[in-house]
Amino acid sequence: MRKNSGKSKIIRKALALQKFSQEQQGKSIGLVPTMGALHKGHLSLIEMSAKQNDITIVSIFVNPAQFGANEDFAKYPRRLQADAKLCEAAGATIIFAPEPKDMYPAPLQTFVKNIELENMYCGAYRPGHFAGVLSVVAKLFNIALPSKAYFGEKDFQQLHLIRKMTFDLNFPVKVIGAKTIREKSGLAMSSRNEYMSASERSDASSIYAGLLEAKKKHRQGEFSAAKLKAIIKKKIESAGGKIQYIEIANKSDLMPVKAKISEKAVILLACYFGKTRLIDHLEL
């Protein structure tokens, strides 16, 4: 339970990391899975893990299995050396940076799938995405053998599905979600924000503004999902954004609110500013 002050070690092979983790008997291991291009959101997870565990493993892997054919796998930012320095400063012990052929030495046949929720919300627009996410997280759990694993709440549906996978399949891992870190404008931090021009980035602050406005209206007594969604839609579209989806879901099971909000709920959305797809959420 100490902040690591030494140099982080980079491990490139899954088998080498698994062996390392198996040898850490009695020490607590925290895992922070990332795709690199680290921002303050990631660093908050690494710092949390470094405080709560003897060893913190940060994985940096742009996972091909979770990208669709027409998505941004090729252009997703990769900068291992810069990321490694950030990991080290935040307290990481190990940086796990495998090559795709080490994570997928043969075509993957075995997938972990949430058959209820994988095709809803983001999954409706990204076929196969969540099967790719759950499968790689299962792999990382089995390779890094953590007692705790840290994920940002920003990918809200992803976090929900990972929690459910961990519960359903009895992984001996405590999944810890951490608050979304936002820029001063309110824009949720994301490695994809750097795809945007300065003006798009400024316009995209309308997302959080819309979410906050809906939350305020809800607190004032508005329980209609349709009306709250319309507030956000108007705000984002006025700023030049294009909505992919806005939904309100029950927080407990992520089932959509059909008409009136009746229990703790969360707004989920995806939209485009220019060619950049952004997601955000807010708990009501």
**Contacting positions for a copy of itself (CB under 8 A):** 14, 18, 22, 25-26, 106, 108-117, 134-135, 138-139, 142-143, 145, 161, 164-165, 167-172
Planar angle of CA 176, 243, 180, nearest 5 degrees:
20
User: Between residues 32 and 134, which has the closer beta carbon with respect to a copy of itself?
Assistant: 134
User: Between residues 191 and 250, which has the closer beta carbon with respect to a copy of itself?
Assistant: 250
Work out whether the CA dihedral 17, 19, 23, 28 comes out positive or negative.
positive
Question: At its nearest, how many Å lie between a copy of itself and the CB of residue 15?
Answer: 9
Question: At its nearest, how many Å lie between a copy of itself and the CB of residue 170?
Answer: 4
For residue 42, indicate whether it is catalytic. yes
Question: At its nearest, how many Å lie between a copy of itself and the CB of residue 252?
Answer: 11
User: Between residues 29 and 188, which has the closer beta carbon with respect to a copy of itself?
Assistant: 29
Tokens of 220: 């004032």
Question: At its nearest, how many Å lie between a copy of itself and the CB of residue 167?
Answer: 7
User: Between residues 172 and 221, which has the closer beta carbon with respect to a copy of itself?
Assistant: 172
Question: At its nearest, how many Å lie between a copy of itself and the CB of residue 254?
Answer: 10
* Angle between helix 80-90 and helix 40-52 axes, rounded to 10 deg: 40
User: Between residues 106 and 259, which has the closer beta carbon with respect to a copy of itself?
Assistant: 106
Bridge partners of 242, per DSSP, are 272
- Reference 218, options 231, 233, 236; nearest CA is 231
Neighbours of 191 (CB within 10 A): 17
Q: What Rg value do the Cα atoms of the chain yield, rounded?
A: 19
User: Between residues 3 and 19, which has the closer beta carbon with respect to a copy of itself?
Assistant: 19
Q: Which helix (H) or strand (E) holds 22?
A: helix 14-22
* Angle between helix 129-144 and helix 14-22 axes, rounded to 10 deg: 50
Bridge partners of 33, per DSSP, are 59
Question: At its nearest, how many Å lie between a copy of itself and the CB of residue 121?
Answer: 14
Asked if residue 135 lies in contact with residue 108, where contact means CB atoms within 8 angstroms, the answer is: yes
DSSP 3-state assignment of 266?
A: strand
Q: What is the DSSP string of 64-82?
A: GGGS-TTSSTTTS---HHH
Q: Which residues are catalytic?
A: 42
